[in-house]
Structure 1
Amino acid sequence: MNERTAKLRIDKWLWYARVAKTRSLAAKLVTSGCVRLNKDKVTSASQGIKVEDVLTVTRASHVLVYKVVQLGSRRGPAPEAQLLFEDLTPKPEPGADKSAPVSLEAGHGRPSKKDRRDIMRLKRSFMDE
């Protein structure tokens, strides 16, 4: 069969390309609706992909975009897996991913004996009301 017309199951390719750690996790990723093939949502792990297809994989907080360069025949080492795709993921803007830092009250560690007594008095006053 010609390399251009050959097809491979999408879950196998995701596993070969090391997008998913196991083939069953790749199948779950597809069936949960986190994978798009040429902008169309894929719901079946048996969906065939071919060379030049574009896959969009949604992970917890980021989106990965891959162009299929080769189909592959086995799950090999990472350098071999990187030859299967071209990464089209847009680069994040510098500083865009940073969230506001968590502000903590300036404390002095453990409460002192006086602080603990004050806390207990405050708790008792709320319990009495």
Structure 2
Amino acid sequence: MVNDNNAALKVRLDKWIWAARLTKTRALARDLIQAGKVHYNGQKSKPGKIVELGALIKVPAGWDVKEVEVTGIEEKRQPAKLAELMYQETADSVAKREQNQLARKMQTFHSPKPENRPDKKQRRELIKFKHQ
């Protein structure tokens, strides 16, 4: 459950990211923060930064970056359904992620994989074409 006394609870940024299930381990969360890939209210931060309600946090998620607003603070890792209540992803973030996903699909559409390997004659033609 998400605590009612969220404002009184002091939780480190790395621990909050882990508890909100944005990373698999706390060590991964700490490494992302130390590498400067996580932004807290638009600035790079340290793993020990205390998380506040309403803060905007940018966290890399695969190929994309999730921008979330803190709506709940919890110290311990919760089930996924409860962890989702700890943050709200911004509309801009959702739109950017969908746009990036569509761009990745279009990119693979325009560069299809061949059905089989090129034979000797086709390889020669490819080499000749590349060196023009």
Q: What TM-score, normalized by structure 1, do the two folds share?
A: 0.72
The residue aligned with 1:9 is 12
SS in 1 for 2:77: coil
> For 1:79 and 1:55, how far apart are their aligned partners in 2?
20
More helix, by proportion:
2
Q: 1:87 aligns with which of 86, 89, 92?
A: 89
Cα distance in 1 for residues equivalent to 2:59 and 2:77: 19
Cα distance in 2 for residues equivalent to 1:75 and 1:55: 18
Higher relative contact order (Cα pairs below 8 Å, separated by 6+ residues): 2
Aligned-partner Cα distance in 1 for 2:7–2:21: 22
Give me the whole-angstrom Cα distance separating, in 2, the residues matched to 1:23 and 1:49.
Answer: 15
Matches within 5 A, 1:26-41: 26-41=29-44
Percent of pairs identical after alignment? 26
What's the CA shift string for 1:53-93, capped at 9, x where partnerless?
00011344211000000101310110010010001123223
The equivalent of 2:103 in structure 1 is 96
- How many Å apart are 1:102 and its aligned residue? 2.6
Q: 1:59 to 1:106 in 2, by over 3 A?
A: closer
Change in 2 beyond 3 A, CA 1:32/1:78: same
Write the letter of the residue equivalent to 1:90: V
| 1-structure distance, mates of 2:112, 2:30 | 41
Is 2:70 the counterpart of 1:63?
Answer: no
Q: How much is the aligned-residue C-alpha RMSD, in angstroms?
A: 2.8
